[in-house]
Structure 1
């Protein structure tokens, strides 16, 4: 029998991980020129609210053109 609480627990953990990495996902989807730095900031300081918001704001800044 499938343990409903176990499935819900795993789904909750997966959702929290997805939300945690939103700034990095936004940076990669937008092709941000500093996407690796944003992802590293998000990975190491995202657990602090300030680090997460900072990474999110940085990922939403203007993307520099390749030329």
Structure 2
């Protein structure tokens, strides 16, 4: 059995956190990437007459 000095334990733990941070960032990026078309459709609908709850335009 080989004893690993404590500073190397710290480096290994930090690398694990970096990997988790990278995976978390990738998850958020994919979530925003797939949500963007829905956000764009919603924004486009708000410009149609009568669609917005505060719009005074009548339906055609």
Q: TM-score, normalised by structure 1?
A: 0.44
The structure with higher relative contact order (CA 8 Å, sep 6+) is: 1
Structure with bigger gyration radius = 2
Question: What TM-score does the superposition give when structure 2 sets the normalisation length?
Answer: 0.49
